[in-house]
């Protein structure tokens, strides 16, 4: 699993808007949308129900989100500990 895509998933789940999430990530909305679609394909699961205004998490999305923040936090802490050595 690509941690960058996982981080984008978490941000989109927080923002629930492709436009807001893409601004926060400093990428074009169409780029984020393409990455999300590829991420979902790689997982074999739909993570969001999409409509014109909002992205809502599916059951699969909620399942992934429960652990994604913890995983990313652990990764960031591991990198920080390497830098302090």
In the chain, the DSSP E strands lie at 48-50, 55-57
pLDDT of 36 over the 70 cut: yes
Taking the C-alpha atoms of residue 69 and residue 16, their distance in angstroms, rounded to an integer, is 16
Strands (E), 14-81: 48-50, 55-57
The pLDDT assigned to 55 comes to: 86
What would the pLDDT profile of 49-78 be if each residue is shown by its tens digit?
988 778 899 999 999 999 999 999 999 999
């Amino acid at each position: 699993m690509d941690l960058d895509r996982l981080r984008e998933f978490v941000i989109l789940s927080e923002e629930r808007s492709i436009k807001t999430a893409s601004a926060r990530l400093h990428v074009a909305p169409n780029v984020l949308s393409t990455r999300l679609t590829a991420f979902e394909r790689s997982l074999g699961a739909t993570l969001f129900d999409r409509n014109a205004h909002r992205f809502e998490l599916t059951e699969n999305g909620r399942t992934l989100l429960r652990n994604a923040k913890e995983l990313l936090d652990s990764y960031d802490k591991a990198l920080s500990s390497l830098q302090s050595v």
